[in-house]
Amino acid sequence: MKVEVSRRRFLQGSVALTIAGGYAMSPSEIFASAKAKASAAGETGVKKVATLCEMCVNKCAAFAYVENGIVTKLDPNPYFPKSRNMLCPRGNAGVQALYDPDRLKYPLIRDGEKGSGKFKRVSWEEAYKYIGDKLAKILDEEEDNRSTVAFCAGEGMGEHTFKNFFTGFGSSHFLNHASLCLATTVSGYALTIGGYGQADLENADYVVMAGANRAEAIVTPDTMDFFKRTMGRGAKLVVVDPRFTHTAAKSDKWLGIKVGTDLAFVLALTYVAIKEEIYNKEFVANSFNNFEEYKNHILDNEYTPEWAEKITGIPASEIYAVAREFMAHAPRSIYYQGRRTTWSKNDFQLRRAQAIFSALGGGVDVKGGIVFGGNIPLIGHDVPGPIYDQAKSRIDKDEAAVVGGSGTWVGFRNMVLEGRAPYPIRALFNYKHNPMSNMPNSQKTAEFLKKLDLVVTIDTMPSDTVMLSDVVLPECTYLERTDPVKAFGGIEPAVVQRNKVVEPLFETKPVIEIMKGLSETVSKQLFEITKKYDEEVQAAIEEDGEESVYEDFDLTKAFHETQEELNHHAVSKYEGAADILHEKGVFYPDMDKYFKKVGVNDYVYYPENKKYYSVRNGKFNTPSGKIECKIDSLTTRGIDAMPAWKDEDYKVIPDGKFNFITGRHAQFTQSGSSNNKLLLNLVPTNYAWINKRVAVERGIKFGDLIEVTSKVGKTTIRAYPTEKIGKDTLFFIHGFGNASQELSLAHNNGGNDANILEDIIEPMHGASCLHETIVEIRKV
């Protein structure tokens, strides 16, 4: 019987993924499969399951309604203080992610040229064995240098589980979204005020959002807290952005800034605060380190509003006004940190300057300012972290001043491509991550993926990266799995758990089961290679015997317990927490006492006096315990100790060309939701924003197709002429224009920014600068 099945698969031969993976399936067939699964599991009637959304990174709490085994609706779950009883449009569209007919359904192995889209369906065991054999061959050739295999992951609750495999495997290379997203902001604030913190937008009186777009790029609870209070209802909002965003529409003042000049704006605000001595003198005296030097630096360099006006395009009078109003409202004033932030090469210094300016008002670790909040500690579990003597250190460690545990993705990729790596990088494990779409210069990413001997991708959808993989392991969607329980710190901390709503469809599995299955197949096989090359291991075996030494190298150890068991253990010090998390999805100490419904839309999570606003007692989490104006230790690595404007920060946009910028809106989360039927019904495609007057000059009308070309590539997109953008700037939403033909709705839909973005990295963390690309356009 088994032979026959294999033969039938063999006869199907090299057919396109469409056939091999059963992609031609209609939605009704998907529902039929779902019903079959449900009846097998004996599910009838209606049930309500507490889950957590995974349509973006916020992890809002939801209840899923399941009727006869089919998820029919997702509703907001009011218990989670962070998500405040809401689901955004993407959250509501989670059902479509579950029942998307284009989903990855079975394990696949490439069966044609890389990128040809040809795969054959295999069993899980076949896939694991294929990976094991390939890894064994590579590691044998590389003499057990585990770092020849790299691991990358997208943001998500399963990243932790995937990382446990990485830790056991022993590679130095982990790469994730940080260097494509917020690495500079997180470290800019952390090294300056001792943490990225949380902007207390429920209580701030004055907020500057520069580049951040909380009305469209929703962040919880910031978005929900803040826009109830804007427009003359408690909080003043200044938006500084080259585009007039939905956030700008809610502002008291919008300042259209020239792209990449924010640092000059912040330095000039600082100048006004210092020169006019309107900063919080008591706070500065008690809590600033090296203030005098910073003060002299700002004044001596004459970072005046008049100077900044020439660079930023923002009138000096507006800069004076913002600085004065900010300090007048301080300490309940915030220069908002922002999220996806690496725009220009000076981004780290920009974030440092923001943090220092914000702190000059004293709005750190106080209500209405940037706060650090409380936490609810969970019990961890041990995973083996064996040491492999032959594993070499990161190849990208010198690509920037500080390359942390998540690497510089672009730097890493480019080193491999340019042959600058000190040893070969031969394989990549990729979890829930789509480098083809999320990394600038997709041509290079394609070349990089093609160059590797083995690319294993674990995902739910046939993304552009899946199409360039050698082995595809289909994960189930978030509604089909229980994920690691997680504590969210903050003003109102809580523990949350994503509970499995329905059984996984098709042959998909949660990542924990995938890693368990893979470990069971490859662990011993790979240890044999270690035995062959690792002298430390050889010596240890001689001394203690192989069985005892293997214990430390046993990759399966991290996956002995189920996710449910791990979660139960993690919260075991809180009585009843595991059951509450199962039922309500949310737990925090005294929740039963504190949680109250106080209106049709309103809930209280913590009494005011139990909220965690001030937690530092005047000692910040920095080396000096104070706000760091000057970080001398960075200078040895070529990074300025204090934020300064450099001549190279000036950028000239040649006549007739545009500075390209990218971003998000509320209906899509990057490429991960680009094939979602409900969301595409709301917004069918992305459009290129081009200034209306420029469009008229060039004869471009709404909906006209234009070709956007940069130094590295081109893309085609429809035009949206508008006055919401300046004459020398072009913008479109990230995540569209997917190349994968297996995404039936997203394929070739709109423009792809990864094709045109130049792969420029900044010097601090090697984070990718997303607003440095100059483009030309042509009507087609």
Q: Which residues bind other proteins (CB under 8 A)?
A: 73-76, 84-93, 95, 215-216, 218, 223-224, 227-228, 230-231, 233, 244, 246-252, 254-256, 313, 599-602, 666-667, 677-679, 681-682, 691, 693, 722-727
Give min distance, CB of 223 to other proteins, in A.
6
Give min distance, CB of 110 to other proteins, in A.
33
> Is the distance from CB of 460 to CB of 480 less than 8 angstroms?
no
For residue 605, CA distances in Å to 226, 585, 596, 680 come to 17, 15, 7, 35
Give min distance, CB of 231 to other proteins, in A.
5
Give min distance, CB of 89 to other proteins, in A.
4
Which element (helix H / strand E) includes 370? strand 370-371
> Is the distance from CB of 475 to CB of 510 less than 8 angstroms?
yes
Token pair listed for 540: 């240890």
Please state, in angstroms and rounded to a whole number, the distance separating the CA atoms of residues 545 and 609. Answer: 59
232 phi/psi in degrees, rounded to 5: 75, 20
> Is the distance from CB of 769 to CB of 661 less than 8 angstroms?
no
Residue type at 743?
A: L
* Nearer to other proteins among residue 19 and residue 682 (C-beta): 682
Give min distance, CB of 374 to other proteins, in A.
24
Token pair listed for 301: 């360099």
Which element (helix H / strand E) includes 593? helix 591-594
* Nearer to other proteins among residue 44 and residue 72 (C-beta): 72
Please state, in angstroms and rounded to a whole number, the distance separating the CA atoms of residues 93 and 73. Answer: 9
Give min distance, CB of 83 to other proteins, in A.
9
* Nearer to other proteins among residue 84 and residue 146 (C-beta): 84
Angle at alpha carbon of residue 152, lines to 149 and 154, rounded to 5°: 165
* Nearer to other proteins among residue 111 and residue 325 (C-beta): 325
Give the distance from CA 716 to its chain's centroid.
Answer: 26
655 burial level (CB within 10 Å; 0-12, 13-18, 19+): exposed
* Nearer to other proteins among residue 315 and residue 489 (C-beta): 315
Give min distance, CB of 663 to other proteins, in A.
15
Neighbours of 133 (CB within 10 A): 14
Tokens 């790596």 belong to residue? 421
Residue type at 257?
A: I
Give the distance from CA 345 to its chain's centroid.
Answer: 20
* Nearer to other proteins among residue 224 and residue 764 (C-beta): 224
What number of CA atoms fall less than 13 Å from residue 289's CA on the CB side? 21
First to last CA, the chain: 57
Give min distance, CB of 623 to other proteins, in A.
39
* Nearer to other proteins among residue 254 and residue 736 (C-beta): 254
* Nearer to other proteins among residue 253 and residue 486 (C-beta): 253
Tell me the three state secondary structure of residue 333: strand
Q: Could you tell me which of 122, 106, 102, 124 has the C-alpha nearest to residue 29?
A: 102
Give min distance, CB of 650 to other proteins, in A.
19
* Nearer to other proteins among residue 92 and residue 508 (C-beta): 92
Which element (helix H / strand E) includes 695? helix 692-697
Give min distance, CB of 772 to other proteins, in A.
21
* Nearer to other proteins among residue 170 and residue 735 (C-beta): 735
